Amino acid sequence: MQSTPNLDQFIPEELTRIAYQGFQESKKAFGFLHKQISDRLTNTIVPEQATKSKPLSPEVFEKLQVRLKSLEEKDWQDAQNGVYPSSLLFDNPWSDFFRYYPELCLDMVKIWDRLQKKEFQKFDNAIDRTGYPDYYLQNFHYQTDGYLSDMSANLYDLQVEILFNGAADAMRRRILAPLKQGLQAFASLPPQQIKVLDIACGTGRTLRMIRGTLPQVALFGTDLSPAYLRKANQVLSEIPGELPQLLQTNAESLPYQDNYFHGLTSVFLFHELPASARQAVINEAFRVLQPGGVLAICDSIQATDSPDFQEMMNNFPSIFHEPYYRHYTTDSLEERLRQAGFINLQVENHFVSKYWTAYKPVV
């Protein structure tokens, strides 16, 4: 059920590597050009925003570039080692990017207006906001309608790729190796019986990567946003034979039986949750995971991981509306995972992201 054939069968390794490097450079160039345009317009129209953050020092910038290259090398090596097919390295929604880039630029006008008026919880009147937790009703990243409109869902992947200098997908893919390894505990089961849930699946990018890595497992996704679930359904339906099992729900109260899933993933969720919600989501993950099952989390680096990047982390919630990020950077997800009952914790860092792998004990 993979969306594209495995390039390893047809193209020599060295040519694939050159193509991958060129592909990554093209995404960086795209992001650099956008940043130049965005910075000039922002400094002209809302110059006070420019004073909220200082430019990175040459030393910090160089360290970031080294870490970015290391991430790309790890991405390449995982594909070469068979963790996932090389086709995933090139699976980028370019048609969406070019289709929606003009809308992204036009949306900047609305962003500037919210910045000047300090309106961080503004939504279109047509959007139904009932039933959502208060912490969710935010214009995260200052984006129009937060996570509750189709326009937001269409722009999200493009925005994130620009933010992370073309590295967003490479960072997402770092959860695939620990997930695949963790599911080996259930190798005696038919693959179709192995169930994997992506919590806060958003536009479905992570689920699409899991499908490319594990072509036969049963995939599930949950999210609070009906608009993002519609986008995820579109993204996953592009895969021949894929029938997305997507559900709108709050991850603090998952509507699944105890011990239902063999594997769980969550990407870029916890920094957008208040502390109590972080613990509630982790507790629910523990409940719905089978004994011996694996949880793989990807999120932002934290203060103790990279002291050199502390100023950058301090700037982030000022430049982008991220009301829970500061607390997240000093929060111990390791302790929260242990409190819920998880064991065998493993922690890694790649570029500007952090990863936790944890297991539910076998009774």
Q: Per-residue pLDDT tens for 16-73?
A: 888 888 888 888 887 777 777 776 766 666 666 555 556 778 888 898 899 999 999 9
The reported pLDDT for the residue numbered 332 is: 97
The reported pLDDT for the residue numbered 8 is: 53
Look up the CATH architecture of domain 169-359.
3-Layer(aba) Sandwich (3.40)
Share of the chain above pLDDT 70, in %: 92
Average pLDDT in the 274-297 region? 98
The reported pLDDT for the residue numbered 128 is: 93
pLDDT at 222 over 70: yes
Higher pLDDT, 44 or 104: 104
Contact 220, 200 (CB under 8 A): no
Single-letter amino acid, residue 70: S
Contact 135, 250 (CB under 8 A): no
Report the Cα 304 to chain-centroid distance in Å.
21
The reported pLDDT for the residue numbered 12 is: 65
Give alpha helix (H) positions in the chain: 13-45, 47-50, 58-80, 94-117, 150-163, 168-172, 176-182, 205-213, 226-237, 275-288, 310-319, 325-330, 333-340
Phi, psi torsion values for 220, nearest 5 degrees: -130, 150
The reported pLDDT for the residue numbered 9 is: 54
pLDDT at 2 over 50: no
Residue 293 pLDDT class (50, 70, 90 cuts): very high
Nearest to 298 by CA among 205, 173, 194: 173
CB burial readout 163-181, b (16+ within 10 A) else e:
bbbbbbbbbbbbbbbbbbe
Share of the chain above pLDDT 90, in %: 64
Per-residue pLDDT tens over the stretch 125-169: 999 999 999 999 999 888 889 999 999 999 999 989 888 988 999
Higher pLDDT, 245 or 97: 245
The reported pLDDT for the residue numbered 1 is: 42
Average pLDDT in the 275-299 region? 98
Please report the sign of the dihedral spanned by the C-alpha atoms of residue 110, residue 113, residue 114, residue 115. Answer: positive
The chain-wide mean pLDDT, for the chain, equals 90
Per-residue pLDDT tens over the stretch 338-362: 999 999 999 999 999 999 999 999 9
What is the side-by-side order of every strand in the sheet holding 261-267? 245-248, 218-223, 195-199, 261-267, 289-300, 353-359, 343-350
